[in-house]
Amino acid sequence: MPPGLSPSTKGSPANKLKRKYKMQNNTEIVPFGKYKDQPVEIMLADQNYLEWITGQPGIMTMLQGKYPALFNVITVGAPQIHQLSPCQPC
């Protein structure tokens, strides 16, 4: 067992879910729907799908509760490079 993990937390449902949908090569994997098991960038490129998904209250509620980071990316968008670093005058 890796250091820092106790038997009680290693196999917990939350940790299994985190491992299953953990960032792979710095890419989050979509855990549901048409783009299940694909990189989130693929789903984000399909504007029609995003419009459809945001119009589905049940799906949006599920995303907000189970996958808040993915919910934020869908509703707000991914942070842009200029949002991550201090603003520099042009």
3-class SS of residue 11: coil
Q: Which of 13, 47, 67, 42 is nearest to 59 (CA)?
A: 67
Q: Which residue has the tokens 């200029």?
A: 82
* 46-to-34, 60, 76 alpha-carbon distances in Å: 11, 17, 16
For 53-80, write each residue's pLDDT tens digit: 999 999 999 999 999 988 998 888 766 6
> What secondary structure letter does DSSP report for 24?
B
Whole-number pLDDT of residue 24: 46
Which residues have CB under 8 Å from 31's CB, separation 6+?
A: 20, 21, 66, 67, 70
For 6-42, write each residue's pLDDT tens digit: 444 455 555 454 545 454 445 688 998 999 999 988 9
